[in-house]
Amino acid sequence: MHSLAQEIQGFSKGRLRKQCTRVTTVTGRRLLEGGEGQVEELEESGCGFVQDESLDLQVGVVRPFLLLASQDAAHDIDTLQRYKVSHVLNVAYGVANLFPDQMVYKTLQILDLPDTQITSYLQESSSFIDQAQQQDGVVLVHCNAGVSRCSSIVIGYLMLREGLSFDDAYSQTKRARPSIRPNPGFYQQLQNYKPQRTTNHL
């Protein structure tokens, strides 16, 4: 009868089943680590990215009644209350409106693609901004990152309602939120935009 010690001695390392561990690195690479230090890269479709966990709560104040920001700010009730936001114009795609009992929302699902006709949304979005202003409210215009779509809508609003040139509207919006960058298609469309100026009085 074998003693336990003999059994352990006879249990060679070779008989151990090889363990493999899947590892995802911070850069999104998928690796398979074998028991003897072998590392094999797994082919993945799509590209790896590091998720940015920091919230972007920076709010650009373009006019006392007109703000722009990312979805982070739009989803942060403290930020909304600090800026006395009453109306939210959501021009992101697939982003929920979290506070329907406390805010007036309008959603325009706009894709951030250069060939999206951003100028076709300006009348409707400007009417909503007017509504907020007439009710002595404050409207926050937001998209996902607060970079392209919402800035394009705000620039278009300033051109349509205040008769600003593209350059003036762009620089005032950029001063309020330095990270804005309309995609090349939106930039071109707004540069060529010749609005029939309408006042914001009904």
Quick: pLDDT tens for 56-100: 899 999 999 999 999 999 999 999 999 999 999 999 999 999 999
Cite the active site residues: 143
* Burial of 60 per CB tally in 10 Å (0-12, 13-18, 19+): buried
pLDDT digits over 183-199, tens only? 999 999 999 999 876 55
Q: So what's the pLDDT on residue 140?
A: 98
R_g over Cα of the chain: 27
Full-model pTM: 0.72
| Residue-range domains of the chain with CATH | 15-51 (no CATH), 60-191 (3.90.190.10)
